[in-house]
Amino acid sequence: VGWWIAQDPNPPKPFVGGSLKALDNAFTWAEKYGMKVIVDLHAAKASQNRFEHSGARDGFLEWGDSNIDETVAVIEFLATRYGGSPSLGAIELMNEPWAPDVTLDALTKYYKAGYDAIRKHTNAYVILSARLGPADPKELFSFARSLNRVAIDVHWYNLFTDMFITMTVQQNIDYIYDQRSSDLDSWISANGPPILIGEWTGEFGAKKGSLEDYKRYTKAELDVYGGATFGWAYWSYKCEENHWSLKWMIDNNFIQLNMR
């Protein structure tokens, strides 16, 4: 969700209303069908990563110490509204803060304040997103050990950098089994908090791939990411790009969820 959800149904322009009703519906449906909801603050006011999905229109990252209080207020709004729901699985305090612009000091101050705000209303898990960019998810481990019922969220895509674009399909698959698996094992063995692979998808950097290539690639992801101690989430369930759509991938036999 975006920060403007706390001002629904009349958020400031250019944002539009309706997100709060949509989230209410998600909780209603989750309770009906025995599911859990993870609420993620995907867009913090002033933008934590400069991308459009953080609510930025101008490509500037401006989130920092001066925005902590107003961001915590949004988290408190969500915790107050949904903290008593049996369908609340977790609240994630921020999506993809960008290093080094979002400093570790500012981020941990915010994470502690957001954690405290949530704990006034619920004992649900609190998820801490690892920083993107030149940062190691383990930088949050010592901080997280001082808190109860927290998990670290890591996003893994074999995309967006020249390294993956120049890899063959097999090299992308090998990278999952070798590097990704090694990273996950090292985090788990470090006695840190549970790990969530909170975003991954069936697309890879190599542009040409057959049905069998995509099946082998997604099998590798499921084999490795299935070991994450807090689970995984595919981005996304429905998407206009076929390989980013979990529903399309399953319906068209690219992904078989019983392959592990």
Q: Model confidence over 37-84: pLDDT tens digits?
A: 999 999 999 989 877 888 888 888 988 999 999 999 999 999 999 999
Same domain, 43 and 135: yes
Angle (CA) 199-201-206 rounded to 5° is: 130
Helices 68-82 & 104-119 angle (0-180, nearest 10)? 30
Q: Are strands 125-129 and 150-155 parallel, antiparallel or unpaired?
A: parallel
Name the domain count of the chain: 2
Same domain, 176 and 114: no
Task: Find out whether 61 and 51 touch, Cβ atoms under 8 Å.
Answer: no
Q: pLDDT tens digits, residue range 180-203?
A: 999 999 999 988 899 999 999 999
pLDDT at 25: 99
Same domain, 224 and 112: no
Q: Does pLDDT of 88 surpass 60?
A: yes
Closest C-alpha to 54, from 123, 12, 3, 111: 3
Asked if the peptide bond before residue 100 counts as cis, ω within 30 degrees of 0, the response is yes
Instruction: Quote the tokens at residue 131.
Output: 């920083």
Could you say which of 126, 153, 180 is where a domain stops?
Answer: 153
Same domain, 61 and 113: yes
Which CATH number is 93's domain given?
Answer: 3.20.20.80
Same domain, 84 and 182: no
Same domain, 9 and 104: yes
Same domain, 115 and 188: no
Cβ atoms < 10 Å from Cβ of 11? 18
Same domain, 3 and 96: yes
Query: How far apart are alpha carbons 88 and 200 in whole angstroms?
Result: 22
What's the domain range around 118?
1-153
pTM above 0.75, yes or no: yes
Same domain, 178 and 128: no
Query: How far apart are alpha carbons 56 and 72 in whole angstroms?
Result: 19
Same domain, 213 and 99: no
Same domain, 137 and 222: no
Same domain, 134 and 171: no
